[in-house]
Chains A and B, each alone.
Chain A
Amino acid sequence: DSGVTQTPKHLITATGQRVTLRCSPRSGDLSVYWYQQSLDQGLQFLIQYYNGEERAKGNILERFSAQQFPDLHSELNLSSLELGDSALYFCASSVGRGQETQYFGPGTRLLVL
């Protein structure tokens, strides 16, 4: 499967903890995007990286951070977790800087207890 991959699929953790979500983009794609999907907020854009550099920022909390590595995979770090951080976190990728179609990964379901 040469599509976007995300690990882990599921994550259960406790409040106050820190987790790392990982995303590998489609082969050849340089941009990676992170979205949060929750029942009350819907699908919200968090952040975009293009070829290792932050390109656009959305409603991302200060407790959250992301980076894109030289091999173009990306990690989203969530710290000091709260119950309200429970959500589905999607990664997407696209070939260029942001005007192209974004292809989504299967998501990581995070449950904070």
Chain B
Amino acid sequence: AQRVTQPEKLLSVFKGAPVELKCNYSYSGSPELFWYVQYSRQRLQLLLRHISRESIKGFTADLNKGETSFHLKKPFAQEEDSAMYYCACLRAGGTSYGKLTFGQGTILTVHP
């Protein structure tokens, strides 16, 4: 079964500091990995999808198949980055199931 682990429930950094939100996945096939962000009282929004290799709001994430990780990074955190971040895994190929498996989420707080 797919499993996504985000080991940190809470992460606090100061503005301008680098930030890394950890995500590890467990899946035997070739998964697709996502990062979603949920700002206070708003809907989940897609932040990154690994196949698109885009950098959104300064965030990047590299898929490391050897370590089964998809950590989210930003070199200089901003106060507006404070939010809940979810890592999610989608089974790819085969019968094209659309089930996204989410991690438990990490609440990022960026202090001024």
**Which chain B residues lie closer than 8 Å to A102 at the CB level?**
46, 98, 100
Distance between Cα atoms of A99 and B96 in the complex (Å): 6
Q: Which of A20-28, A42-50, A63-71, A73-81 contacts B (4 or more CB under 8 A)?
A: A42-50
Q: Which A residues contact B (CB, under 8 angstroms)?
A: 4, 31, 33, 35, 42-45, 48, 50, 55-56, 58, 90, 92, 94, 96-99, 101-107
Please choose the segment from B19-27, B69-77, B101-109 that sits at the chain A interface, where 4 or more of its residues have CB less than 8 A away. B101-109
> Is B99 within 8 A of A58, CB to CB?
yes
- Top-10 shortest CB links A-B: A98-B98, A43-B102, A104-B44, A56-B97, A48-B98, A45-B99, A97-B96, A106-B43, A42-B104, A98-B96
Roughly how many angstroms separate A42 CA and B106 CA in the complex, as a whole number?
11
Chain B residues in 8 Å Cβ range of A48 = 97-99
The reply to whether A56 and B44 contact each other, CB–CB distance below 8 Å, is: no
Question: B92 on the interface (CB 8 Å rule)?
Answer: yes
Tell whether, in the assembled complex, residue B44 and residue A45 are in contact, meaning their CB atoms are under 8 Å apart: no
Please judge, given known A-B contacts A42-B105, A43-B86, A101-B49, whether A33 and B98 are in contact too, CB under 8 Å. yes
B55 at the binding interface (Cβ < 8 Å): no
Is the pair A104, B105 in contact by a Cβ cutoff of 8 Å?
A: no
Chain B residue nearest in CB terms to A100 = B98
Bound Cα distance A101, B36 (Å): 11
Per-residue contact bits, chain B 66-98, to A (CB 8 Å; 1 contact, 0 not): 000000000000000000001000101100111
Nearest residue in B to A58 (C-beta to C-beta)?
B99
